[in-house]
Chain A
Amino acid sequence: MKLKIKKELPYLLFVLPAFLVYTVLTMIPLLQTMGLAFTNWDGYSLRNLKFVGFDNFKNLFSDRSMKSSLINTCFYSLIFPVLATLFAIPLSLALNSKMKTRNLQRAVFFFPSVPSAMILGYLWAYILAPTSNGLLNKFLGIFGIDPVLWLAIPKWAMFSVMMVNLWSAVGWHACIYLAQLQSIPAEYYEAATVDGASSWQRFRYITFPMLSSAMTVSVMLLLLTSMKLFDLPFALTSGGPGTSTTMISHIIIKTGFVEKSYGKAMAMSVIFFIFIALVSILQLRLMKKREVE
């Protein structure tokens, strides 16, 4: 037994710092949230804390803003990962080609993912300004197109959030696919070429199946970030106009920090946590099946 502990101790000590950070910053708040979701905590003191059972969970989804944000989040989480994948895969193929400037191009396409979403939101608010002076509207004006109210009309506001996030995220996810592409043995393509396979056939029967493990990771990350989305709509549209770009995370923050209903906000967080966990598990299970060794 002593020998066993002595043998395993170095490994445990290596893991300990990361484990402590994870426990303190993630596990403890998570457990406290789950506990406080069943109380009437007002966010200021634990005095007069009362157990209220499932009261905070009742009527969660009857709130108008909550319903709207749920629809927005589901819509965004379904559409955005598909769009991002559709753009990222061709981009990764282009960045994997034998262009002389491919290293520069990789840097250029990766760069938009570097600045924080808050900065991107404030920057794009000027590009997407709804008047004729907004940069994008000025560009469209060259072709005789009237100014578009990008952030002032609900459907365009959601489109704008997606567009900005797509611009930011595609390069990063293309890098995931790029890394996988570079691990595909060249012999497969050589053999296919010898057998007379076209470009599309090489992509369809070699490249695409071999990208499945990268796609599992990429789609999982896209799904998670889409469902948790907060900063970009906050900076770009403040969740508006109305609730057209309000996500569940905004409602949780509003319920807690603005309306001071911390118990209710924690109940929302618990439900949201369970929902995301279930979606992630389902997505992983479904996509892992199609992975090719």
Chain B
Amino acid sequence: MRKTALFLAGFMMIISVLTGCTGSAGKSNEAETQTQGKETAASDTGEGNVSSKDKKTISLLSWYTEEQLGEFLREFEAENQGITIDLQYVPPVQQYVDKFSVLVASGQMTDMFFTAAETKRDIVDKGLAEDLSSMEIFNRIDKNTSATYGNDGEIYAYSPDAWIAGIFYNKVLFEEAGIDKVPETWDEFVECFAKLKEYGVEPYLDYADGVHSLAQILYQCMVISSEPDADEQINNGNSTFTEKYTEPFAIWYNDLISSGLYSQVSLGLNSEQLLDMFVNGEVAMMGGGPWDVTTIENRNPDLDYDVFGISDKNGNTILSGAVGVGLSISTSSDNKEECWAFIEFMSREENILKWQKVTNNFIIVEGIDYSVDTVFERFKGDVVEGNFYLPQIVWKNSAGIYKELLIGIQDAITGADKIENIPVRLDEKQAELNQ
């Protein structure tokens, strides 16, 4: 019995291993052929309608919710009776990036997905997305802007908008604390902290995964304003994180952390808790973007708030912002025609305008008249001038560096590491990931 069982066991294992290896290699070769061939089914489609001969389900990995995308999906499905879109929502940012990575590694990528700053490099380098550059809409988007998700003339994601982040502030609390105008320099910003703290209200909070934002914005204002290619220099080995990031980080740390003005409470909050605190008037300022506006106004329509951008000591401002996440078609999709039709549908002018109302972002497609009916209207000029930046878009090993930056800043806040070591750790991580 035992010998027979052992023999069977060994035989099954050998067969299974051989089958598994052959299967994965074959599947990999197939994917590579698709990537190298760069099949584009786009030219066959033209319009946004697909015949209803075959019923198909196309999957979409999204960091927008059913609430935000649902109307567009239902309209598309109504126009294209044979197609159903299966929305798979994952909250941004890190969870989306993690899920994306897992799906790619396991060969389970959805037909369509949203390309984010953190995944852009992988998508470009590994050929994970179809080239969409032949779409008519890109004739109406600035070449440099659309190149955010492109490489060598090819474009891998469609995005009609850009987002800008700022600092939300409670106008009533500001007034009560004796702050009569929004800060225009870094020192005035720090002074706001002190006045609010003296008044007895929490001046500013982040959520745990966003504690790096102030330090990063200060770097943008201090360094990127005069050296727009600073991060490219780091990528190319002509500079280092230590050279570029040390001074802004030190100023952030000395002015806010070691002074006790920035609360460690941030490390224990998630984004929902932070939003709740802001709308309930428990914190005077928080970082955020257009995606928060609807939630703020739903939870507390009476909240008197506004937004401003941070500047450095000399008043230089580079806002945090980037082209919005873009829709991509997976090179491994079997439904490229249908996916293309959906992107064509989303790129219609009426849908771009409707989408703008959902995201409250700024439209980057020329010739569309619109208004941003939120506090972010003040940044429309900055978008036109391109006065926004996000290092994550530029970093060579974006996902790994971003994770190390976040952990490093958290360590600096808790005192587990010195602030001057954080850029050094980024350089070490860069060297490790470049191997």
Which positions in A face B, CB cutoff 8 Å?
4-5, 8, 11-12, 15, 19-20, 23-24, 27-28, 31-32, 42-47, 63-65, 125-126, 128-131, 133, 149-154, 157, 237-238, 240-244, 253-254, 256-262
B414 touches which of A8, A241, A259 (Cβ 8 Å): A241
* Residue pair B268, A43 in contact (C-beta under 8 Å): no
User: Can you give 6 contacting A-B residue pairs, CB < 8 Å?
Assistant: A28-B20, A45-B28, A149-B267, A237-B208, A238-B208, A261-B433
Q: Quick check: is B397 within 8 A (CB to CB) of the other chain?
A: yes
Q: Are B267 and A23 in contact (CB under 8 A)?
A: no
| Contacting pair A259 B397 (CB below 8 A) | yes
A258 near B400 with CB under 8 A, answer yes
Report B285 CB to chain A, min CB distance, Å.
Answer: 16
In the complex, what residue of chain A is closest to B413 when comparing beta carbons?
A241
Interface residues of B in 296-329 (CB under 8 A from A): none
Q: Which residues of B does A touch, CB under 8 Å?
A: 1, 4-5, 8-9, 12-13, 16-17, 20-21, 24-25, 28-29, 31-32, 94, 97-98, 101-102, 104-105, 122, 126, 208-209, 264-270, 273, 277, 282, 397, 399-400, 403, 407, 410-411, 413-414, 416-417, 425, 432-433
What B residues does A237 contact at CB under 8 A? Answer: 208
* Residues of chain B contacted by A19 (CB below 8 angstroms): 9, 12
> In the complex, what distance in Å separates the CA atom of A241 from the CA atom of B9?
47
B114: shortest Cβ distance to chain A, in Å? 18
Per the bound structure, the CA–CA distance linking A236 and B267 in Å amounts to 12
B8 near A12 with CB under 8 A, answer yes
Pairwise interchain contact B411-A11, C-beta atoms closer than 8 A: no
Chain A contacts for B122, CB-based, 8 A: 260
- A128 and B8 CA atoms in complex are apart in Å by 53
| Residues of chain A within 8 A of B1, CB atoms compared | 4, 8, 11
| Identity of the chain A residue whose Cβ is nearest the Cβ of B209 in the assembled complex | A238
Minimum CB–CB distance for B269 against chain A, Å: 7
Q: Would you call B105 and A152 a contact (CB within 8 A)? A: no
Q: A151-B268, A154-B414, A259-B400 are in contact. Are A43 and B104 (CB under 8 A)?
A: yes
Residues on B with C-beta less than 8 A from A129 are 268-269, 273
Considering only CB atoms, which chain A residue lies closest to B270 in the complex?
Answer: A125
How many angstroms from the CA of A258 to the CA of B1 in the assembled complex?
A: 47
How far does the alpha carbon of A129 sit from the alpha carbon of B400 in the complex, in Å? 28
B209 contacts across to A, CB distance below 8 A: 238
Task: From A31, A45, A260, give the contact of B17 (CB < 8 A).
Answer: A31
The answer to whether residues A130 and B269 also contact, given A31-B17, A46-B24 and a CB cut-off of 8 A, is yes
| A44-B104, A45-B28 known; A150+B268 contact, CB < 8 A | yes
In the bound complex, do residue A151 and residue B20 qualify as a contact, i.e. CB atoms below 8 Å apart? Answer: no
Give 15 new A-B contacts, CB below 8 A, not counting A133-B282, A240-B407, A259-B400: A27-B13, A42-B126, A45-B32, A47-B29, A125-B273, A129-B269, A133-B277, A149-B264, A149-B267, A152-B267, A153-B264, A241-B267, A242-B417, A243-B411, A258-B400
CB-based closest 5 A-B pairs: A152-B268, A130-B268, A151-B268, A152-B267, A242-B411
A163 to B403, CA, bound (A): 27
Find chain B residues with CB under 8 A from A154 CB: 414, 416
Q: In the complex, A24 Cα to B267 Cα: how many Å?
A: 41
Please indicate the chain A residues that have their CB under 8 angstroms from the CB of B5 in the complex.
8, 12, 15
Q: What residue in chain B is nearest A40 (Cβ atoms)?
A: B435
B-chain residues with CB within 8 Å of residue A133 when the two chains form the complex: 277, 282
Query: Are the CB atoms of B266 and A152 closer together than 8 Å?
Result: yes
- On whether A28 and B265 interact (CB within 8 A), knowing A129-B273, A241-B208, the answer reads no
| Residue from the list B31, B94, B98, B101 in contact with A260, Cβ < 8 A | B101
CB-CB under 8 A from A151, the residues of chain B are: 208, 267-268
Contacts of B20 in A (CB 8 A): 24, 28, 32
A residues within 8 A CB of B29?
45, 47
Q: From A147, which residue of chain B is reached at the shortest CB distance?
A: B265
**Cβ of A244: which chain B residues have Cβ within 8 Å of it?**
414, 416
CB <8 Å contact, B268 and A128: yes
Q: Who on chain B is nearest to A259 by CB?
A: B400
- Determine the distance from Cα of A20 to Cα of B8 in the docked complex, in whole angstroms: 11
A258 touches B9 (CB 8 A): no
Q: In the assembly, what is the distance between CA of A8 and CA of B1, in Å?
A: 6
Tell me the bound Cα distance from A24 to B417 in angstroms.
44
Query: Which residues does chain A contribute within 8 Å of B13, judged by CB atoms?
Result: 23, 27
A2 to chain B, nearest CB (A): 12
Q: How far is the CA of A5 from the CA of B7 in the complex (A)?
A: 12
Q: Write the nearest CB–CB distance from B222 to chain A, whole angstroms.
A: 25
Q: Are A23's CB and B4's CB within 8 A? A: no
Q: Please measure, in the bound complex, the distance between the C-alpha atom of A131 and the C-alpha atom of B267, giving whole angstroms.
A: 11
B407 touches A65 (CB 8 A): yes
Decide if B397 touches A23 in the complex (CB within 8 Å). Answer: no
Chain B residues within an 8 Å CB radius of A27 = 13, 16
Which residue in chain B gives the minimum CB-CB distance to A29?
Answer: B20
- Complex: A213 Cα to B8 Cα, angstroms: 33
Specify which of B17, B97, B432 is in contact with A28 (CB 8 Å cutoff).
B17
A240 in contact with B416 given A12-B5, A45-B32 (CB within 8 Å): no
Q: Could you tell me if B101 and A243 are in contact, using CB atoms closer than 8 angstroms?
A: no
- Contact between chains at A240 and B410 (CB < 8 Å): yes
